[in-house]
Homo-oligomer: A and B are copies of this chain.
Amino acid sequence: MKKLLFVYIVLIGLFVLYVYQYQTSETTNNEWSEHELRGTIDETYVMVTFQTGIDYWKRPLKGFEDAAEALNISVAYRGATQYDVNEEITVLEQVIAKNPSGIAISTMDPEALNPVINKAVESGIPVVMFDADAPDSKAYAFLGTNNHYAGVTAAHKMAELLNESGEVGVVTHPNQLNHQERTQGFRETIETEYPDMTVVDVKDGRGDQMISKEVSEDLMRENPDMKGIFASEANGGVGVGKAVLDQQKKGDLHIISFDTDKGTLDMIDEGVISATLAQGTWEMGYWSLQFLFHLQHNLAGDLEGETDLPRYVDTGITVVTKDNVSEYYPVD
């Protein structure tokens, strides 16, 4: 009987402890709920792109998903399957109709998309642009590459490869602003910082492998002493690489390319392309979702009536060479 009473007392003690602990944990939760960076699984944030199936979007989407895990929220991926702004507009309209907690958008045609972007913002949905901006839209922020600085980085890498001496050329896509900026950054840096180097010519490869191959063959014929070519986008880089292989100039002519699609990485691995510039695509996705979460939860600033977010995030550039190329193959 005494034994039973003892067990009784121990169990009452544990019960009191249980109630106490339960209440304490409640208090702690309440204290943090207002400010902590933790949402709920039924908040859904959407990433919208175009050509949704291409490899390029895998890393921004991984960043978006990693941020969702850190913030305990849900994400979805939508977009135009083709390079078609009308399809992207239709998809974005459908996304807006579901009233998501936020939308991160990349588009090839900001002018056409601006009205739909503004419609989302006006209906109270947080929107940020990533990778390619829509500067005249009402989106709250843009997260992407500083293309001028990317060109500067390419110039310094080229100078390093050529011991700061020799003729170089450029194959680019001169109708697009981002490519103009890359070319200008490259050219200005070579001209102002490397007196023994010259940019002999800038050719239009039109973002196409075959055309880039042809114009780089012209470039090599017209400038037999040329020691390097900067290709401002990935198809151009592979095209130049094929020309260098055909002309048996591998090792004599250094190529610096852009982005990290499989064709480019393979040519780096084989020593045809010396270096490529990797954009901070994971960062674009990760910090886009952080910004959207901060807007949705009114954590973006301390001023009433203001959307106090940074307006531009330069997500950075990394130089990829044979030494670190293995890290850039997608892990499926």
Contact = CB atoms under 8 A, between A and B. Distances in A.
Contacts of A305: 324, 327
Interface in A13-34: 14-15, 17-18, 21, 25, 32
B310 A327 contact: no
Interface stretch (A96-104, A171-179, A280-288): A280-288
A304 interface: yes
This protein's copies in its complex: 2
Interface in A68-100: 69-72
A11 B15 contact: yes
A283 B312 contact: no
Given A8-B4, A15-B11, A38 B37 contact: yes
A4 B8 CA distance: 9
Interface stretch (A43-51, A245-253, A267-275, A295-303): A295-303
Nearest to A38: B36
Interface stretch (A157-165, A207-215, A228-236, A313-321): A313-321
Given A11-B14, A62-B302, A310-B315, A37 B37 contact: yes
6 contacts: A15-B18, A36-B70, A37-B38, A59-B302, A282-B301, A311-B314
